Homo-oligomer: A and B are copies of this chain.
Amino acid sequence: MWKATEEVLAPIATGAGILGTGGGGNPYIGQLRARQALKRWGPVTVLAPEEVPEDARVVCVGGIGAPTVGIEKVRDLQSYHALRAIEEFTGEKATALISNEIGGSNSVEVMIAAAKAGLPIVDADGMGRAFPEFQMKTFFVYGVPCCPMAIADEKGNSIIIRETITPAWAERLARAATIQMGCVACYAVAPMSAEQVRNTAVPNTLSLARDLGLAVQRAHDTGGDPLAAILETCPGRTLFSGKVVDLDRRTTGGFARGTVAIDGLDDYAGCRMIIDFQNENLIARVDGEIVCTVPDLICAVATDGGEPVTTELMRYGLRVTILGFPAPALWTTPQGLAESGPHHFGYETEYIPLQVEGT
């Protein structure tokens, strides 16, 4: 058990920005919002998965929409309103909250609802990264029902997706509502049990985000190498480094979709990496050859300082280093890959696990 205070928000934002693989919502704006919430309602207790009481009712809370819109249309207390809506619908009070995805601002979206509601959060999430679609959560892959779920906007509109024949239908209906709501909304899913959380969540990801951020901070403070500090904290490897030379990004169908082209520098001079993204980075190719795909993490950070470069902030001329991290084990089983692998996103390539020394 630890306390999420205002002080840990900055490192969490950095770490969650990295783990967000481009998406999950702008971590800086998320941090500012969470800071305001913690200032107003006090720090939030963070429970390790094994500390969640047996009779707990744990509600998954998160943001949905396109990150390109999320930086212009800032969320407010929608996650709290979605929480109250799903409590009303199910007739059950939440006793703890859990993040939908650790990536980006979704790492702290849950804190805002938790601070307002006076509830603890679990140090875990449903992805261990960020993914663009609602149903892409380890919870749902391993048997937690994805419905009922509530969606709320900042205006005062809310809907319940009561029942769907597949989790993909929940995404479809949620996305359509989100687009109407202005491409930015928050949701809350019907409560899970402690056992469901322990069996289906990716554990300890909020601490990991915090530790990643602290490592970058320490490197800055001590004149160390922030990229090396990141790779020491979370086993992974450098995939590429260079300068952004082209960016095709459009907000369509409720997502930010596109490609970014990076011309190599130093060790990578003469090569070009192209990354396809749908909110999150999906597949990275160097000179046409695939070097990393979902569900492994393809993370862009500033070559200079290690700060995450998310989809909506990517721009021409940025010096970025692309890091790869192996996906959490829950994603690399056959069921996990069916929901998160390259095929799911329309690529014909098979998933080839990223090889990382010492793992």
Q: Which residues of A contact B (CB under 8 A)?
A: 85, 89, 150, 155-165, 169, 172-173, 176-177, 179-181
Across-interface contacts of A156 in B (CB, < 8 A): 163-165
Whether B165 pairs with A155 at a CB distance below 8 angstroms is: yes
Whether B180 pairs with A172 at a CB distance below 8 angstroms is: yes
Which of B155, B158, B159, B173 is the one whose CB lies under 8 Å from A157?
B173
Q: In the complex, A245 Cα to B157 Cα: how many Å? A: 45
Whether B162 pairs with A158 at a CB distance below 8 angstroms is: yes
Across-interface contacts of A172 in B (CB, < 8 A): 180
Q: In the complex, A173 Cα to B157 Cα: how many Å? A: 9
Across-interface contacts of A177 in B (CB, < 8 A): 159, 173, 176-177
Whether A159 pairs with B158 at a CB distance below 8 angstroms is: no
Q: In the complex, A161 Cα to B155 Cα: how many Å? A: 14
Q: In the complex, A165 Cα to B162 Cα: how many Å? A: 21
Q: Whose C-beta in chain B lies nearest to the C-beta of A81?
A: B163
Q: Whose C-beta in chain B lies nearest to the C-beta of A164?
A: B157
Q: Whose C-beta in chain B lies nearest to the C-beta of A156?
A: B165
Q: Whose C-beta in chain B lies nearest to the C-beta of A178?
A: B176
Q: In the complex, A176 Cα to B158 Cα: how many Å? A: 14
Using A89-B89, A158-B162 as known contacts, list a sample of 14 further A-B pairs with CB atoms less than 8 Å apart, ordered by residue number in A.
A85-B163, A89-B160, A89-B162, A156-B163, A156-B164, A157-B173, A159-B160, A159-B161, A159-B162, A172-B180, A173-B180, A173-B181, A176-B177, A176-B179
Task: Name the distance in Å between A155's Cβ and chain B's nearest Cβ.
Answer: 5
Q: Whose C-beta in chain B lies nearest to the C-beta of A159?
A: B161
Task: Name the distance in Å between A354's Cβ and chain B's nearest Cβ.
Answer: 35
With contacts A173-B177, A176-B180, A180-B173 taken as known, whether A158 is within 8 angstroms of B165 at the C-beta atoms is: no
A sample of 5 cross-chain residue pairs with beta-carbon separation below 8 angstroms, ordered by A number, consists of A89-B89, A159-B159, A159-B162, A176-B176, A177-B177
Task: Name the distance in Å between A221's Cβ and chain B's nearest Cβ.
Answer: 48
| Interface-central residue, A159, A162, A165, A173, by most chain B CB under 10 Å | A159
Q: In the complex, A156 Cα to B89 Cα: how many Å? A: 19
Q: In the complex, A163 Cα to B164 Cα: how many Å? A: 20
Listed from nearest, the 6 A-B pairs whose CB atoms lie closest are A160-B160, A176-B176, A156-B165, A158-B162, A157-B164, A176-B180
Q: Whose C-beta in chain B lies nearest to the C-beta of A175?
A: B180
Whether A158 pairs with B163 at a CB distance below 8 angstroms is: yes
Whether A162 pairs with B160 at a CB distance below 8 angstroms is: yes
Across-interface contacts of A181 in B (CB, < 8 A): 173
With contacts A173-B177, A177-B173 taken as known, whether A165 is within 8 angstroms of B157 at the C-beta atoms is: yes
With contacts A89-B89, A162-B150 taken as known, whether A157 is within 8 angstroms of B176 at the C-beta atoms is: no
Q: Whose C-beta in chain B lies nearest to the C-beta of A172?
A: B180
Across-interface contacts of A162 in B (CB, < 8 A): 85, 89, 150, 158-160
